[in-house]
Structure 1
């Protein structure tokens, strides 16, 4: 039995299949985990959703910002971006089933055996492990509740950009969602910055990648994340694994086999 974790798919279904073929993935024995952003930009977002949803494939995912945006567009809260190439999802006979399945996926997973944390974007530099797990469960309950559409309608804001236990309601929920699905850089005082998407070496000096800030959790815990394609799989931290390598942007799809930490890649097909 092997545990495989794959970076952001973004509709790159064919590349995923070739990657799994490389390792002779066997869903009856092996596990497959994904870092979120199953959809948008690649041509086969619908196929990616169906593959991960199918229990026969033994695949599990967490939610990314593009997955949440898909939910917002399916609800009519936001307009579809033509570059996302998700028309097939809107026309699919199983659209509603896919929508309900997607919103019930977690924001964070702690692997039951290996204990690594799997998250799309990152973990707040203000949280310890207990807070991280509790905040994930709190926001997941909102997304899985009856009023989830009302919360998603209020999701699109970058405030608050710092953590406080005093936050309640939408402000608290929005900070949690933004950390797990959008975060890249922080200021030195641990406030979040959402504007900068530059490679680390080109970023302003007042900004630091979230995983380089002083938080004991980042030094003690193995963390796997996606979201940040310009890192191209490099975090320079031995226990922090970046798996988004920009397949949908013409680069490659990356996968790690957890037991021996071997990396497998599949180049973008077209």
Structure 2
């Protein structure tokens, strides 16, 4: 918030969990680091700011998303589906949406999905996706690197013929994956919380530059046990 227009944010699964915890929809876990935010004097302001952030953003031809995009979705579809979730977040009864948001089903997209199932599916795809099948069935159990894919599954960005294959996508979420130097897929969660790096990508006139800080240089970072 202090950065004002200098930074534009998108929501991930932990941000949505923060909203749910704040409203008592979910209880904070021991491993959560939300306590200082939940008890902050301006907590209401912080909550309202998070609520208006989108799940997907497009800037300078780059689609920014927390986790990934289902292979059947185009960039424009992903943005449209994300807007459905944002509408739910901005509605008067948005705590009902937060209550229904949790769960792993359905695991496969269908245009026929409606209501809570549709919104849950969109949230899971955009904020939790790692592995999926060629027809978009998601796996939420495996959290290791790309080589640990269950049989029949693969990293979402390796699905042959995915609708976004010609689009540049920047994402995070998958801390055990690390940075992949791919022309069109930028995986920027490089495991800072586990002692890795905090990574950013700078774009300047078509050039891109990877910027990284060793997390040992940052205060308050969890050390791997």
Q: TM-score normalized by structure 2?
A: 0.90
Name the counterpart of 1:167: 113
Distance in 2 (CA, whole Å) between partners of 1:222 and 1:185 is 19
Matched, 1:261 2:208: yes
Distance in 2 (CA, whole Å) between partners of 1:216 and 1:167 is 21
Segments of structure 1 that go 5 or more residues without pairing to the other structure are 1-52
Match of 1:239 among 176, 181, 184: 184
Match of 2:18 among 48, 70, 73: 70
Distance in 2 (CA, whole Å) between partners of 1:219 and 1:110 is 16
Distance in 1 (CA, whole Å) between partners of 2:77 and 2:112 is 14
Q: CA deviation at 1:189?
A: 3.0
Match of 1:207 among 153, 156, 159: 153
Q: CA deviation at 1:188?
A: 3.2
Greater relative contact order (CA < 8 Å, ≥ 6 in sequence): 1
Q: CA deviation at 1:255?
A: 0.8
Name the counterpart of 1:80: 28
Distance in 2 (CA, whole Å) between partners of 1:240 and 1:226 is 11
SS at match of 2:154: strand
Deviations 1:97-132 (A, max 9, x none): 101110110000011xx1110000011111123322
Q: CA deviation at 1:56?
A: 4.0
SS at match of 2:113: coil
Name the counterpart of 1:5: none
Aligned partners of 2:178 and 2:187 also within 8 Å: yes
Name the counterpart of 1:183: 129
Q: CA deviation at 1:57?
A: 6.1
Aligned partners of 2:72 and 2:162 also within 8 Å: no
How many pairs are equivalent?
Answer: 215
Name the counterpart of 1:93: 41
Matched, 1:152 2:66: no
Deviations 1:195-225 (A, max 9, x none): 1112111322321011111345332100000
Deviations 1:59-82 (A, max 9, x none): 111001011111111011111122
Q: CA deviation at 1:169?
A: 0.6
Aligned partners of 2:149 and 2:155 also within 8 Å: no
Name the counterpart of 1:250: 195
Deviations 1:13-59 (A, max 9, x none): xxxxxxxxxxxxxxxxxxxxxxxxxxxxxxxxxxxxxxxx1254611
Runs of 4+ in structure 1 deviating by more than 6 angstroms, as ranges, are none
SS at match of 1:84: coil
